[in-house]
Structure 1
Amino acid sequence: MAGRSEVSYDSKMKNRLKRAEGQIRGILRMMEEEQDCRDVVTQLSAVRTSIDRTIGLVVAENLAACIEKERAIGGEPDTESYVQEAIDLLVKSR
């Protein structure tokens, strides 16, 4: 998938990351204020979940773009190869 398509990173993806960025700033503030570690860890977990979902969205959009591009040029996409590469990306991100 890497380099095979021109996936666009839409405002939905960017907004997810902007929210995560705000959450991280909030966590840093919590740490500076020496707030309870359980609260900090809860917020860190929420950011991780948000980032994981964004990764899934990026990979899914790229997978769809790769297959669509292949079909648009009249080819028969190697769907199995694209899906395996998407799975590899997701596994690597964990």
Structure 2
Amino acid sequence: MKCDEKIMNRMKRAEGQMRGIQKMMEDGKECYDIMIQLSAVRSSIESVMGIMVAENMKDCFENPLEDPTEQAEKIEQAMKMIKKL
């Protein structure tokens, strides 16, 4: 599964948030404010993970492989991704 532009934009936003958090820490900002930002990054990453898992499952069913063994492996991999959420 390839990452689409929407996912990449979310990842870039999370990366920018992380840089902002590092700056907050360097500037000695309050832990509470840093934790709020960390929570936002975590939420963003979890959202990306959910989108990727959903897209992967959709692909498994919309584009089945001809070889049943390979298809079963593809679905098993998708299930492992769900378990990691």
Match of 1:10 in 2: 4
Deviations 1:19-39 (A, max 9, x none): 000000000000000100000
AA aligned to 1:17 is M
SS at match of 2:3: coil
- TM-score normalised over the length of structure 1: 0.74
Aligned residues between the structures: 81
Structure 2, unmatched stretches of 5+, are none
CA displacement, residues 10-64 of structure 1 (integer Å, 9 cap, x when unaligned): 0000000000000000000000001000000000000000000000000100110
- Structure 1 unaligned blocks of 5 or more: 1-6
Q: Which residue of 2 aligns with 1:49?
A: 43
| TM-score, length basis structure 2 | 0.81
With a CA cutoff of 8 Å and minimum separation of 6, indicate the structure with the bigger relative contact order. Answer: 1
Contact 1:55–1:90 (Cα < 8 Å) also in 2? no
Write out aligned runs for 1:1-94 (5 A).
7-70=1-64, 73=66, 82=75, 86=78, 88-93=80-85
Q: Which has the higher helix share?
A: 2
